[in-house]
Amino acid sequence: MEIGRVVVVGGGLAAAKAAETLREEGYDGALTVVTREPHQPYERPPLSKDYLRGEAGRDAVLPLDQAWYADHDVDLRTGTTATALDAAAHTVTLDDGHGLPYEKLLLATGSRPRHLPVPGAEQEGVVSLRTLDDSDRLAASFADLAQADGRLAIVGDGWIGLEVAAAARSAGLRVSVVGQGAHPLERVLGPEMGELFGQLHAEHDVHLHRRAQAVAITGEGRATGVALADGTHVEADLVLVAVGAVPDLALAQSAGLALDSATGGVVASATLQTTDPDVFVAGDVASVPYPRYGRAIRVEHWATALSQGPHAARSMLGATDPYPELPYFFSDQYDLGMEYLGFVAGPDAYDEVVVSGSVGDRALVAFWVRGGRVEAGMAVNVWDRMEDVKALIHRDGPVARAELEGFVG
């Protein structure tokens, strides 16, 4: 398929892998990548893990080396914001007022941190973690606070909040985490496996405030802590807001692309094509049909960007294969490493969690089961079993409980 200029809007892994795939698949036409950040596209998981802990350098977050874009004749425009999309005219408007024409376009615009709507949230000493610069600033703050027996309060007990808590403890900070649920990660893992992470952090002297609601960030121009609805004041020298992210839909909305009210993303076909035939989506903004679950799903994880970027690129070149990958993510906290494959839409979407291995030793595989079928699986300090978990998820029909319980030999 012969196509003209391709434009990729985004500064994350999906954008980088899409550009790489276009060149690998033989596309030698004009290719422009537009990203608002001053950096070339990079991966985000290390920002709350090894990069934040100082265990990995800047190169570790770059999926393509510094010279790749120039070497492959890619027009990389960093520090440039795409402000509007005119799908009828096939033009992206940039922040300098110029229009960038395209024949095929990929929106890989990612997400932005969700705002905490409480008094005091805009003052100094209240931070979020989404960008490379955010991680650099947070690491510098950790180094300074560690010298002064500093205190970090984290509002939010999801993956980012807990990974940063682990990094902060390793840096020597005193850490408190404010979560609305009875267990950390409860909305994602349910109470059974959420509590595994709760106990992990409690053992590392993280103060967990459960069933807690932040109502204000205290301070007079600079944060001094978090006020909770029950009257508790969580003292802090630095407050991290980690209450989730929202997909960046501005361009999709300006173009009138169909949005999915259930997932909050841009409606995509199985080939990652939007309701405009020349516009494709990948990563955090893409609401993609998953036949295994009988619904569209929007996933904000590294592996989705890694696989959807190339898939969208091939689709722009004419491929018609449906997107095949199950949702996958991973986390590293202290000495615990985990991998999760599949999808469970909250605690009401499964009947039970079947565990193989030892929760006490934190070496296990947990299966979320509904109607006898495996919906998802999580391996904790058990490696090289995700292909086996995938086979169980795709099995057409119930899986015997004894088979699940004996999964870890």
Residue 135 confidence (pLDDT): 98
Domain range annotation of the chain: 6-112+245-316, 126-241, 335-405
**Separate counts of helices (H) and strands (E) for the chain:** 9, 26
Question: One fold for both 126-241 and 335-405?
Answer: no
Pair 129, 48: CB distance under 8 Å: yes
**DSSP-derived secondary structure letter, 70:** H
**How far is the CA of 156 from the CAs of 102, 160, 187, 224, 245, in angstroms?**
40, 8, 12, 17, 11
Domain 126-241 has CATH 3.50.50.60: yes
What are 169-190's pLDDT values in tens digits? 999 999 999 999 999 999 999 9
For 335-405, the fitting CATH number among 3.40.50.970, 3.30.390.30, 3.40.640.10, 3.90.79.10 is 3.30.390.30
What are 316-331's pLDDT values in tens digits? 999 999 999 999 999 9
Domain 6-112+245-316 has CATH 3.50.50.60: yes
What are 390-402's pLDDT values in tens digits? 999 999 999 999 9
Pair 191, 352: CB distance under 8 Å: no
Sheet holding 31-34, edge to edge: 75-77, 31-34, 6-9, 104-107, 279-281
Residue 1 confidence (pLDDT): 57
What are 190-202's pLDDT values in tens digits? 999 999 999 999 9
